A = this chain, B = another copy of it.
Amino acid sequence: MEQLRKKIKTDGSVLSSSILKVDAFLNHQIDPQLMNNIGLEFAKKFSESGVTKIVTIESSGIAPAVMAGLHLHVPVVFARKQKSLTLVNDLITASVYSFTKKESNEISVSRKFLNDNDTVLIIDDFLANGQAALGLEEIVSKTKASIAGFGIVIEKGFQDGGRLLREKGYRVESLAVIHSLENGSVEFENAAERKAERIR
Contacts and interface: CB of A to CB of B under 8 A. Distances in A.
Interface in A88-142: 100-101, 109-110, 113
Interface residues of A, number: 39
A36 B101 contact: no
Contacts of A86: 15, 19, 21, 23, 100
Given A78-B28, A78-B30, A23 B87 contact: yes
CB-based closest 9 A-B pairs: A32-B69, A58-B59, A32-B70, A30-B76, A59-B59, A62-B62, A29-B113, A29-B77, A63-B66
Interface of A: 15, 19, 21, 23-25, 27-33, 35-36, 58-59, 62-63, 66-67, 69-70, 73-78, 80, 84-87, 100-101, 109-110, 113
20 contacts: A21-B87, A23-B84, A23-B87, A25-B75, A28-B78, A28-B113, A29-B110, A29-B113, A30-B66, A30-B69, A30-B76, A31-B75, A33-B70, A35-B70, A59-B59, A59-B78, A62-B66, A63-B63, A63-B76, A85-B101
